[in-house]
Amino acid sequence: MPAAGMGKGSGMHHNGIDGTAAWTSSQSGDGEPAPDANPWQDTIAAADHALEEASRIQRGVQHNLKLLQEVRSLREELRKAHAEVDRYRGMHARVVVSMRQLDDDHMGK
């Protein structure tokens, strides 16, 4: 995404501190300031780029944290499902034992 004041195909153009157009020292052409006319412009451009990168990194970190929370939630859900399976397995085993006892009692008579 281009920074504010940067258009596709144009040179780096930023608004200066006072809101006026400012150009980087690497630009040349008619109607533009002479090279190094604004010694702070390269610093401002670098800072702008660093802020964009920091913002991109922050979005990545936020996305990773969201995924981590989702993984934790899914792990908890899985743990509960395993506990439920264990409970039903125990119930099933007790029913099978009871049915065998009833069958033995019935056959024994």
pLDDT value of residue 1: 47
Phi (first) and psi of residue 10, to 5 degrees:
-95, 165
Cβ partners under 8 Å of residue 8, min gap 6: 2
Per-residue pLDDT of the chain (109 residues; tens, 9 = 90+): 444 444 444 444 445 555 554 444 444 455 555 555 577 899 999 999 999 999 999 999 999 999 999 999 999 999 999 999 999 999 999 999 999 999 888 887 6
Whole-model pTM: value is 0.50
Question: Would residue 29 count as lying in a domain?
Answer: no
Cβ of 44: how many Cβ atoms within 10 Å? 17
Question: Would residue 23 count as lying in a domain?
Answer: no
Rounded Cα–Cα distance for residues 77 and 82 (Å): 9
pLDDT value of residue 32: 56
Pairing of the two strands 21-23 and 13-15: antiparallel
Number of structural domains found in the chain: 1
Domain with 47, as residue range(s), is 38-108
Question: Would residue 59 count as lying in a domain?
Answer: yes
3-state secondary structure of 14: strand
Rg (CA), the chain: 35
Q: Two tokens at 67?
A: 């995924």
